[in-house]
C-alpha cells in the first residue's frame, strides 16, 4: 500500500539508524535543524546586536502564530515559554486564591510536573482536589465533572493522557467548568501534532504544550494560548519587560501590559530553541494533522492487533476516537524488555503503571511496527517468563 506521508522520511536522518517509535517523548530531528541553527549562529555573528530588531525580538510571537495555526488559534493569542510548567506558572500568576473560589480540580493521570506545580500552590491558598482513576487508563469523566463546582477556579487537565494515550472528553469538561464559572487549562502536549486540536471549537480558556514530541521541535519551547477575550483581563504577576507596551523606554514603576501575546511573556526570549523548533513545526503544518491522525489511527490499531495476537496486555483505549498516538503494551517483564529494545535501537520508553509506550508518527513505516513487535517476541522467547 502506498503511503504518501513516507515521502517525508528522508527529512529525518535518525530513521536510517533506528526504529524510531518514541515521538511521544522526543520527536525525530528534522534535517533542516542543522541549517536553522547555523542561520542563528550566522545572524548572531554577522548582525550582532542588530539581530534583535531584525527578527529576534518578534520571533517568539511569530513562531507562536505558526504553532497557533496548528491549534486553530487566532493570530496573536499564543506566547512561547520554556516548557509547560512555566506556562502553568504564568497562568497561576494571573490568579488570586484568597477568595472562596480557590479550588483546583484535576485527575491523577495528569502529567506529574503539572500536579507538582499546582500542589505547590496550596501554600498560596489553593485547594487541590484530585480525582482518582480506577484503571490507570481512563479518567472517570463523571467523577471529574462532579468535582467541578461553584468554588472551582481552575481545571488543569491533559488532553491526551501520557500514561495511556486516553483522549479526555474535553467538551464535557469545558461545558461543566464554564457553567459553574471555572476556567479550563488544557495541556495538549500529547495531542498537538498527532491529534487535531481546535482551541476555539473547544472554547478552552488556556491551552499549553510543547514542541519536542509530536511537533519534532526539540527541547526548550512551550506554548501558551489564552482565549483572547479573557487575555485582555489578565495581568500576569510573573512578568517582565517583554510584556511592557514600550519595553525600550525602560520606564520605572509597574508594568504597563502590552496586548497578547507579549502580555504573557516576561524576560529575554530563548532564541536558539526557537530556531531549532521552526523546521519541525513547518513540516507538521505541511503534512497536516488530519493526515497524521488518519495514519496514526491505522498504525496504533496495527500495534493493538499484534499485541492481542501475542496475548499481551494493552493499556490504551481500544476505541480509536478515544486513543491518541501511543499504544502502551504491558507484556511480561516489560521494563526489561524495554531496556533490551533500546539496546537494539528500537527506540521506545517504559512508564510505571503502564508498560512499553510505542509511538509511531507520520514518518514510520508499517514494517517498522512489525520489526518492533518481532523484537519483543524474540526477547521474550529468549528468556524465561516468571509466573
Ligand atoms: C502531557 C504532558 N504535559 C507536560 C509534559 C512536560 O512538561 P514540561 O514541559 O514542563 O517539562 C509532558 C512531558 O512528557 C507531558 O506528556
Centroid of ligand 1 to alpha carbon of 277 (angstroms): 16
Mutate to test the pocket of ligand 1, among 114, 158, 186, 351 (most ligand atoms within 8 A of CB): 114
pLDDT at 1: 62
Residues near 376 by Cβ (< 8 Å), separated by ≥ 6? 310, 312, 329, 331, 337, 341, 356
Q: How far apart are CA 108 and CA 145, in angstroms?
A: 14
Q: Is the pLDDT confidence value at 387 over 60?
A: no
- Out of 107, 187, 223, 349, mutate this one to test ligand 1's pocket (max ligand atoms within 8 Å of CB): namely 187
From the alpha carbon of 162, which atom of ligand 1 is closest?
A: 16
Instruction: Categorize the per-residue pLDDT at 384 as very low, low, confident or very high, splitting at 50, 70 and 90.
Output: low
- Give the pairing of strands 78-81 and 222-226: antiparallel
Check: CB of residue 20 under 8 Å from CB of residue 378: no
| 70-102 pLDDT per residue, tens | 999 999 999 999 999 999 999 999 999 999 999
> Any idea what the Cα angle at residue 207 is, between residues 236 and 115, rounded to 5°?
80
CA 153 from centroid of its chain's CA atoms: 23
pLDDT in tens, 254-268: 999 999 999 999 999
Q: Which atom of ligand 1 is nearest to the CA of 85?
A: 10
Å from CA of 117 to ligand 1 middle: 12
What is the spatial distance between Cα 291 and Cα 333, in angstroms, rounded to a whole number? 35
The DSSP annotation for 289-338 comes to HHHHHHHHHHHHHHHHHHHHHHT-EE-S-SSGGGB-S-EEEE-TTHHHHH
Average pLDDT, rounded, for the chain? 97
Contact 54, 181 (CB under 8 A): no
Q: Residues in the chain, how many?
A: 387
The residues lining ligand 1, judged by C-beta closer than 6 Å to any ligand atom, are 83-85, 111, 113-114, 158, 162, 187, 189-190, 210, 222
For residue range 106-163, list pLDDT tens digits in order.
Answer: 999 999 999 999 999 999 999 999 999 999 999 999 999 999 999 999 999 999 999 9
**DSSP assignment, residue 359?**
B
The reported pLDDT for the residue numbered 2 is: 87
For residues 311 and 314, what is the distance between their CA atoms, to the nearest angstrom?
9
Ligand 1, pocket-test mutation among 110, 186, 190, most atoms within 8 A of CB: 190
Amino acid at each position: 500500500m502506498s503511503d504518501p506521508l513516507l515521502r517525508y522520511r528522508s527529512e529525518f536522518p535518525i530513521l536510517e539508524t533506528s526504529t524510531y517509535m518514541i515521538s511521544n517523548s522526543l520527536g525525530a530531528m528534522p534535517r533542516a535543524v542543522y541549517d536553522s541553527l547555523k542561520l542563528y549562529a550566522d545572524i548572531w555573528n554577522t548582525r550582532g546586536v542588530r539581530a534583535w530588531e531584525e527578527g529576534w525580538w518578534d520571533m517568539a510571537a511569530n513562531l507562536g502564530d505558526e504553532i497557533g495555526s496548528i491549534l486553530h488559534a487566532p493570530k496573536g493569542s499564543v506566547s512561547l515559554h520554556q516548557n509547560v510548567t512555566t506556562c502553568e506558572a504564568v497562568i497561576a500568576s494571573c490568579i488570586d486564591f484568597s477568595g472562596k473560589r480557590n479550588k483546583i480540580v484535576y485527575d491523577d493521570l495528569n502529567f506529574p510536573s503539572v500536579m507538582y506545580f499546582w500542589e505547590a500552590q496550596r501554600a498560596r491558598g489553593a485547594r487541590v482536589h484530585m480525582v482518582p482513576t480506577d484503571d490507570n487508563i481512563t479518567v472517570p469523566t463523571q467523577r471529574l465533572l462532579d468535582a467541578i463546582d461553584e468554588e472551582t477556579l481552575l481545571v488543569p487537565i491533559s488532553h491526551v493522557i501520557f500514561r495511556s494515550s486516553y483522549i479526555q472528553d474535553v467538551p464535557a469538561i469545558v461545558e461543566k467548568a464554564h457553567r459553574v464559572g471555572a476556567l479550563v487549562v488544557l495541556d495538549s502536549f500529547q495531542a498537538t501534532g498527532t491529534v487535531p486540536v481546535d482551541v476555539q471549537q473547544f472554547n478552552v480558556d488556556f491551552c499549553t504544550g510543547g514542541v519536542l514530541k509530536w511537533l519534532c521541535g526539540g527541547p526548550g519551547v512551550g506554548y501558551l494560548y489564552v482565549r483572547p477575550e479573557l487575555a485582555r483581563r489578565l495581568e500576569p504577576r510573573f512578568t517582565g519587560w517583554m510584556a511592557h507596551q514600550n519595553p525600550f523606554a525602560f520606564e520605572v514603576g509597574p508594568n504597563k501590559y502590552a496586548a497578547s501575546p507579549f502580555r504573557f511573556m516576561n524576560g529575554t526570549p530563548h532564541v536558539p530553541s526557537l530556531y531549532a523548533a521552526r523546521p519541525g513545526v513547518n513540516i507538521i503544518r505541511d503534512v497536516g494533522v488530519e493526515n497524521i491522525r488518519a495514519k496514526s489511527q491505522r498504525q496504533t490499531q496495527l500495534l493493538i492487533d499484534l499485541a492481542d495476537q501475542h496475548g499481551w496486555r494493552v493499556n490504551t483505549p481500544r476505541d480509536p476516537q478515544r486513543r491518541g498516538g501511543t499504544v502502551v503494551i504491558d507484556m511480561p517483564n516489560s521494563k526489561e524488555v524495554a531496556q533490551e529494545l533500546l539496546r537494539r535501537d528500537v527506540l521506545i520508553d517504559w512508564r510505571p503503571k503502564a508498560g512499553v509506550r510505542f509511538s509511531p508518527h507520520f514518518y514510520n513505516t508499517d514494517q517498522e511496527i512489525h520489526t518492533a513487535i518481532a523484537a519483543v517476541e524474540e526477547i521474550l522467547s529468549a528468556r524465561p517468563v516468571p509466573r
